[in-house]
Amino acid sequence: MAYSEKLLEHYENPRNVGSLDKAAVDVGTGLVDAPACGDVMKLQIKVNERGVIEDAKFKTFGFGSAIASSSLATEWIKGKTLDEAERIKNTHIAQHLALPPVKIHCSVLAEDAIKAAIADYSAKHPAKPQG
């Protein structure tokens, strides 16, 4: 099965690999796994006082498709507001990377990771209205 050039490029040169301090108050951490295949994704966001994602980092255990999906996700959410980031759908990621059908769940995982990171950040800031 041949992978798309975009996918391979993200796999070879993943963006935003790394970790942020998960204890920091301006950092939200999402850690999700796909029970079907054992993929695990950690995605972190650093949010400024205007509710804009200033930085994003990821680490992923899984298929090349999962690594590429999370790399792309961090690239896309940087500079977006939490609201905008929340609206990113797995279908956008899958389309952009031309994921084969059997790897669609990798993009689902990336969407879940974004949502989990936002949820974690929001839990740290219960009083702040979002967006």
Partner 1 sequence: MDAAAKINGGAAQKGDNRPKLPIYLDYQATTPCDPRVVQAMLPWFTEKFGNPHSRNHIYGWEAEEAVERARKQVASIIGADEREIVFTSGATESNNTALKGVARFYKDRKDHLVTVATEHKCVLDSCRHLEQEGFKVTYLPVKKDGLIDLGQLDAAITDKTVLVSVMAANNEIGVIQPLAEIGKICRTKGAFFHTDAAQAVGKIPLDVNAMNIDLMSISGHKIYGPKGIGALYVRRKPRVRLQPLMTGGGQERGFRSGTLPTPLCVGLGEACAIAEREMGAEAERLKMLRERFYQGIMAKLPEVYLNGDHDKRLPGNLNLSFAYVEGEGLMMGIKDVAVSSGSACTSASLEPSYVLRALGVDEELAHTSLRIGFGRFTTEQEVDYAVEHVVAAVKRLRALSPLWEMAQEGIDIKSIQWSGH
Query: Is 54 one of the annotated active-site residues of the chain?
Result: no
Ranges within 23-52 binding partner 1 (CB under 8 A): 30-42
Does 119 sit near partner 1 (CB under 8 A)?
Answer: yes
Question: Rounded to an integer, what distance in angstroms lies between the CA atom of residue 6 and that of residue 62?
Answer: 17
Question: Rounded to an integer, what distance in angstroms lies between the CA atom of residue 24 and that of residue 34?
Answer: 27
Does 97 sit near partner 1 (CB under 8 A)?
Answer: no
CB 64 within 8 A of CB 3: yes
Does 102 sit near partner 1 (CB under 8 A)?
Answer: yes
Q: How far is the CB of 41 from partner 1 (least distance, A)?
A: 7
Query: Is 9 one of the annotated active-site residues of the chain?
Result: no
Distances in whole angstroms, Cα of residue 110 to Cα of each of 4, 33, 69, 128 = 18, 10, 6, 25
- According to DSSP, the residues that pair with 47 across neighbouring strands are 53
Q: Which residues bind partner 1 (CB under 8 A)?
A: 1, 3, 11, 14, 17, 19, 30-42, 59-64, 66-67, 102, 105, 109, 112-113, 115-116, 119-120
